[in-house]
Amino acid sequence: MLRRRALAAAASGLLATATFTLAGTPAAAGPAPAPAPAPVASTVQTPPGMLAAMQRDLGLTAAEARTRLANEAAAAPVEKNLRRALGADFAGSWTSGDTARLVVATTDRADVRRITAAGAEAKLVAHGLSALDAAKSALDKAGPTAAVAPLRYVDVRTNSVVVETADPAAARAYVARSGADRALVRVVKSDVRPRALADLRGGDPYYINRSGRCSIGFPITRGSQSGFVTAGHCGTAGASVTDAAGSSIGSFQGSSFPGNDYAWVAAGSSWTPRPWVKGPSGNVTVSGSTLAAVGASVCRSGSTTGWHCGTIQQHNTSVTYPEGTITGVSRTTVCAEPGDSGGSYISGSQAQGVTSGGSGNCSSGGETYFQPVNEILQAYGLTLVTDGGTTPPPGGSCSSAQQRYDGSLTSGGVAVQPGGSYYQSTTSGTHTGCLAGPSGADFDLYLQKWNGSTWATVAQGTTPAADETLTYNGTAGYYRYQVHAYSGSGAYTLGLSRP
């Protein structure tokens, strides 16, 4: 078993926004806004999907989104120069409207001409940004509780400091104690409940009862509950789980050790399960949980030694630890050390299992054993999080198949199985295929045989449903399956049996 003891502590939070009209602000005394400058030709490289997301979330056309991005890029150096030129008069800046027109606030009417000459809109206000920042700093130093003042910010649009709270009376008392200039602070009643947000990722560390350390195996869901699978020897049901910063993740819900070495942890709502394993230089995406063959390459991610690879030596291995015997694990040539327990094994994009134990280390070499992930999913009725959404646990309509292959498709896509290749049948007999597709989609299944020059379809399931079955009595030869997403997208499981 590979578990390590350690401790750490930290904290984090989120922000939101609120606005109101500040009475008495002398903005109306300024001149009429200057005409908006012509849109700047965009040289901004837009990441894939950004324009579509802006159109969806901001209600823009594609042209408006491009104009907005161009104007925002052009505004940055203008704002920087004006901030420096206005000095203590500077009262903040923001962009306005769908085209992102730059607005710069000042406490001195003499600055208006300079601002408009630079192509920005001027706004005359009562308080400089330095005064607002000082008031907020005083609030921060007063040490508010999450219940009294969970959210505090400088709102440059209204030239004030805002405190959002569910208890305005308590918040006003807190403002008075803080020593902040109360003329600059506005208390706003709000139901906002900021919380830390984080991702669950295979290979990252977690701590049991704020003591022993293990590693996340694979993020999962169980209905609406998120969490992750890990090694059973890491903790028993009810044990608390925290991250490296000391923030609560959740608790163990089920654990089996010895006999097996698996467990699952339910996480709080601030933790998002991701289809990732921590790799050598970024995230490795999980697409399914097809068990790799003996001899296949496999890599492990753990919180002590990071990323190491080797090969699968045997499946269905029994190993006896001082605590008892574990059966049904897979033996590998991958090294590991204490603290790596529970971490992810992955072959290509396919989840394999979680680290149980081993011998040796990653300096002199060794071997390790993993508990297959599909057994854990089936034992607790969990669903693996993959890049296609979620992969149902084994035991569904395709559970009796000899082999299972998981994947995901977007509408119109086609995948070849097993593993993008084919299989050989050396005898005549019955081939059966079972496809379990995503709810609401129309997925089709085709069995093809190599006829010496091309692949010919010999059986098919093409009903207007997500699930398909087919049967074919054929002679020896080379066969493959095609999964076609006729309509709809999502994860699928293909089960196949052959002579």
* Tokens at 190, concatenated: 């709000």
Q: Is 341 a catalytic residue?
A: yes
- The answer to whether the peptide bond before residue 258 is cis (omega within 30 degrees of 0) is yes
Q: Is 133 a catalytic residue?
A: no
Question: Which residue among the candidates 303, 341, 344, 408 is catalytic per the annotation?
Answer: 341
Question: Which residue among the candidates 111, 204, 261, 467 is catalytic per the annotation?
Answer: 261
Q: Is 96 a catalytic residue?
A: no
Question: Which residue among the candidates 155, 160, 233, 444 is catalytic per the annotation?
Answer: 233
How many Å apart are CA 52 and CA 63, to the nearest integer?
A: 11
Beta strand pairing status for 248-256 and 262-267?
antiparallel
How many Å apart are CA 487 and CA 462, to the nearest integer?
A: 12
Give the catalytic positions in this structure.
Answer: 233, 261, 341
